[in-house]
Amino acid sequence: MMTIASSPRQTRAASFADWLEVRLPKLVLAPSVLITLVFVYGFIAWTSILSFTRSKTIPKMEWAGVLQYAKVLGHERWHVAVHNLMIFGVLYVLICMVLGLLIAILLDQRIRHEGTLRAIFLYPMALSFIVTGTAWKWILNPGLGLEKLAHDWGWSSFHFDWIINEQMAIYTIVIAGVWQASGFVMAMFLAGLRGIDQDVIKAASMDGASLPLIYWRIIIPQLKPVFVSALVILTHLAIKSYELVVALTGAGPGYATELPSTFMYAHTFTRNQLGMGAASAVMMLLTVAAIMVPYLYSEVRGPRTSSH
Amino acid sequence: MSSKNWDSPQMVQGSANRWSRVIIYGLLIFFAAFYLMPLVVMLLTSFKPLSEVYAGNILKLPAHWTTASWVKAWGEACVGLSCDGIKGYFWNSIKMVVSAVGVSTFVGAMNGYILTKWRFKGDNLLFGLILFGCFIPFQIVLIPMAAFLGKAGLASSTSGLVFVHVVYGLCFTTLYFRNYYIAFPDELVKAAMIDGARFFRIFFRILLPCSGPIITVTVIWQFTNIWNDFLFGASFTTGDTAPITVALNNIVNTSTGEREYNVHMAAAMIAALPTLLVYVVGGRYFVRGLMAGSVKG
């Protein structure tokens, strides 16, 4: 590596350069690794420790065992939040998948202006729900929104007040959530559909199989990896959903549309219950991790099956 | 990533007759109307005078088109106690987005380069550790981050928000560049090494010139995500330093008296315009980012 005629000083300088060159990649990567260790894993540890203390307004390192967890789990609003998350999560994931698949199949029929339609189905994902929620809130407003529209168009018995109805408000969150994310699922399914081997399908149609039958028996079963991805991504999005509720109902009426994310925020920043906020955050993280860790593990470690 | 061949429609058609075409197009138009409705309502309402807002309905065209609501939302609407419109918050968001996107994209590119072209023992584990950061519910870092920003003197500042967005954007940018560079031929890197090129030279002269598409994907993804962020903005800023999403939420939820829906909608449109513009111009790249964040290419 060294040139033969180098003086000792040059050698030392050169060897330092070599030393640096060998370690440069790791040195350049180090800040990102450090940032991740501190601000992701360190902060997870910090919040976890906090959840076992008596912290209220400010962090206080006084051991409290599982007190904060007991308080959260015994809290009426947490029950509502978890119950809502079940309703919202199941409907959101299911409807997004069905609608996404349906639209993807429709778009896959040699449609004119397919690009424009795709753009229309996907734009909700590119906008903040704080923005589009402003429109949704108004559309769902019983006095001025859809209800008034129906009345103006002559359907005077039409009644639609879910957003102010404690029993039904959570379903408005479902409607808005599906509107926002189903285009994304459509894009995933469409990419999956376009990756399917055409020969099998041609053979089946030559054998006289009808188009719906081909989809049901041949194409949809081949989309299994897309179903898994969509399921995982949607489920974790459902658990993290926050802006939907903030923009649409502010967790109301009362606390009828509380979700774990809004519960955490309210207890941390407005109710001065840091310990409870931390405990609820830890429970959210554990739920997400239970879904994402196996998925990421299989994605990173698994065979690199190309879906290009 | 897998959007490569989604511009080539299926060959499955054969039995499609006229009626099924009518049904297919009918359904698609119906769905398109459903997806477009909120945007249409926002636009129509933002151009109506308030009297028409209350007298008409959400889909009625304005009888008198006016841009008064836009002017008011930009310069006069009340956010909290100050009534200077959302212009200041718009610039906050612009400043925040430009720095955060630039830094996180560059660092992500370096990370992706190292993780694929300078492989070392345990690099995959490290990548997995970084990747997991994309998917955590951010509630888990809110309390420590608020404390940290306070201690670091970055509380309620644009620099603080830039820092937060860089930290939690790194996992995505690293993911994108890593998955892109993994397909980049190692032979080219080896040949450059033999020619005497070193670490930075190889990156800047060989990989970077070929990185156009993935840079576009990453920049668009980061821009959209950071511009649209609400949780960090609401948690770590107060008053004048808030990004536009937080200001918009204040306008919409704290107005007293007769609600000026037309001004709310104009403010929402202003907050939406930058990302909408990026989406219209670079939609394909946005989709690629979306897919790369969920399905491995």
pLDDT at A107: 93
Among chain B residues, the shortest Cα distance to A129 is held by B228
Residues of A in contact with B234 (CB under 8 A): 265
3-state secondary structure of B82: strand
**A29, A118, A264 ranked by CB distance to B139: nearest:** A264
Q: Name the helix (H) or strand (E) containing B72.
A: helix B68-75
Q: pLDDT digit string (tens) for B158-209? A: 999 999 999 999 999 999 999 999 989 999 999 998 988 888 999 999 999 9
Distance from A9 to chain B by nearest Cα, in Å?
22
Residue B238 has pLDDT above 50, yes or no: yes
Q: pLDDT digit string (tens) for B92-124? A: 999 999 999 999 999 999 999 999 999 988 888
Q: How far is CA A252 from CA A175, A246, A262, B34, B238, in A?
A: 16, 9, 11, 25, 24
Q: Does B291 touch chain A (CB under 8 A)?
A: yes
Among chain B residues, the shortest Cα distance to A293 is held by B132
pLDDT at B296: 46
Which site among B4, B5, B6 would you substitute to test the A interface, given the most A Cβ atoms closer than 10 Å to its Cβ? Answer: B6
Which site among B5, B35, B44 would you substitute to test the A interface, given the most A Cβ atoms closer than 10 Å to its Cβ? Answer: B35
**B9, B111, B199 ranked by CB distance to A21: nearest:** B199
Which of A3, A199, A8, A288 has its CA nearest to residue B132?
A: A288
In this structure, the number of other CB atoms found within 10 A of the CB of residue A185 comes to 30
Helix B139-151 vs helix B158-181: angle between axes, to the nearest 10 degrees? 130
**B9, B145, B283 ranked by CB distance to A119: nearest:** B283
pLDDT at A8: 56
CB contact under 8 A, A183 and B15: no
**A35, A102, A126 ranked by CB distance to B279: nearest:** A126
Which site among B115, B136, B138, B229 would you substitute to test the A interface, given the most A Cβ atoms closer than 10 Å to its Cβ? Answer: B136
Q: How far apart are CA B199 and CA A22, in angstroms?
A: 9
pLDDT at B11: 44
Q: How far apart are CA B287 and CA B277, in angstroms?
A: 15
CB contact under 8 A, A44 and B141: yes
Q: How far is CA A255 from CA A164, A245, A251, A303, in A?
A: 11, 11, 5, 46
Residue B252 has pLDDT above 80, yes or no: yes
pLDDT at A306: 41
CB contact under 8 A, A25 and B34: no
Rounded (10°) CA dihedral B8, B9, B10, B16? -160
Residues of A in contact with B171 (CB under 8 A): 36
Tokens at B228, concatenated: 């649209």
Q: How far apart are CA B131 and CA A300, in angstroms?
A: 9
Residues of A in contact with B27 (CB under 8 A): 102, 106
pLDDT at B81: 76
Residue linked to tokens 């429970």? A283
**B2, B128, B264 ranked by CB distance to A296: nearest:** B128
- The arithmetic mean of pLDDT across residues B271-297, rounded, is 81
Distance from B294 to chain A by nearest Cα, in Å?
7
CA angle, residues A133, A139, A140, in degrees to nearest 5 = 90
CB contact under 8 A, B272 and A130: no
CB contact under 8 A, B141 and A47: yes
Confidence tier at B75 by pLDDT (50, 70, 90): confident
3-state secondary structure of B136: coil
CB contact under 8 A, A130 and B230: yes
pLDDT at A47: 94
Q: Under a CB-based contact definition with an 8 Å cutoff, are residues B200 and A28 in contact?
A: no
Quick one: three-class SS letters along chain A?
Answer: CCCCCCCHHHHHHHHHHHHHHHHHHHHHHHHHHHHHHHHHHHHHHHHHHHCCECCCCCCCCCECCCHHHHHHHCCHHHHHHHHHHHHHHHHHHHHHHHHHHHHHHHHCCCCCCHHHHHHHHHHHHHCCHHHHHHHHHHHCCCCCCHHHHHHHCCCCCCCCCHHHCCCCHHHHHHHHHHHHHHHHHHHHHHHHHHCCCHHHHHHHHHCCCCHHHHHHHHHHHHCHHHHHHHHHHHHHHHHHCCHHHHHHCCCCCCCCCCCHHHHHHHHHHHCCCHHHHHHHHHHHHHHHHHHHHHHHHHHHHCCCCCCC
Which of A20, A29, A33 has its CA nearest to residue B118?
A: A29
Q: Name the helix (H) or strand (E) containing B167.
A: helix B158-181
pLDDT at A160: 83
Among chain B residues, the shortest Cα distance to A308 is held by B2
Q: Does B118 touch chain A (CB under 8 A)?
A: yes
Residues of B in contact with A32 (CB under 8 A): 107, 111, 130, 170, 174
Which of A97, A280, A81, A70 has its CA nearest to residue A173?
A: A81
Among chain A residues, the shortest Cα distance to B116 is held by A25
DSSP 8-class letter at B203: I
Q: How far is CA A15 from CA A9, A20, A32, A203, in A?
A: 10, 8, 27, 66
**B53, B143, B231 ranked by CB distance to A277: nearest:** B143
pLDDT at A307: 40
pLDDT at B12: 45
CA angle, residues A34, A40, A46, in degrees to nearest 5 = 110
Which domains are delineated in chain B? Answer: 15-66 (no CATH), 87-292 (1.10.3720.10)
Q: What CATH architecture is A75-301?
A: Orthogonal Bundle (1.10)
Q: How far apart are CA B141 and CA B133, in angstroms?
A: 11
Q: How far is CA B28 from CA A111, A194, B284, in A?
A: 10, 19, 20
**A149, A193, A278 ranked by CB distance to B10: nearest:** A193
Among chain B residues, the shortest Cα distance to A1 is held by B196
Which comes out higher in pLDDT, residue B10 or B247?
B247
Q: pLDDT digit string (tens) for B204-224? A: 999 999 999 999 999 999 999
Confidence tier at B256 by pLDDT (50, 70, 90): low
* Cβ-proximal residues to A98 (8 Å cutoff; 6+ apart), any chain: none
pLDDT at B3: 42
Tokens at B121, concatenated: 């023992």
CA end-to-end distance (rounded Å), chain A = 42
Q: Does B207 touch chain A (CB under 8 A)?
A: no
Cis peptide, bond prior to residue B213, ω within 30 of zero: no
pLDDT at B20: 84
Residue B82 has pLDDT above 90, yes or no: no
Please, what sign has the CA dihedral across residues A39, B292, B296, B174? negative
Question: Amino acid identity of B281?
Answer: V
Distance from A162 to chain B by nearest Cα, in Å?
17
Residues of B in contact with A50 (CB under 8 A): 143-144
pLDDT at B227: 95
The pair phi, psi for residue B183, each rounded to 5°, is -90, -5
Residue B129: exposure state from Cβ atoms within 10 A (0-12, 13-18, ≥19): middle
pLDDT at B147: 92
Q: Does B92 touch chain A (CB under 8 A)?
A: no
Distance from B198 to chain A by nearest Cα, in Å?
8
Q: Under a CB-based contact definition with an 8 Å cutoff, are residues A259 and A88 in contact?
A: yes
- The arithmetic mean of pLDDT across residues B117-139, rounded, is 90
CB contact under 8 A, B12 and A134: no
Low-confidence ranges of chain A (pLDDT < 50): 1-6, 304-308
DSSP 8-class letter at B8: S
Distance from A210 to chain B by nearest Cα, in Å?
7
Those of residues 213-232 in B touching chain A at CB distance below 8 A are 224, 227-231
Identify how many contiguous H helices and E strands chain B contains and give both numbers: 13, 0
Residue B25 has pLDDT above 80, yes or no: yes
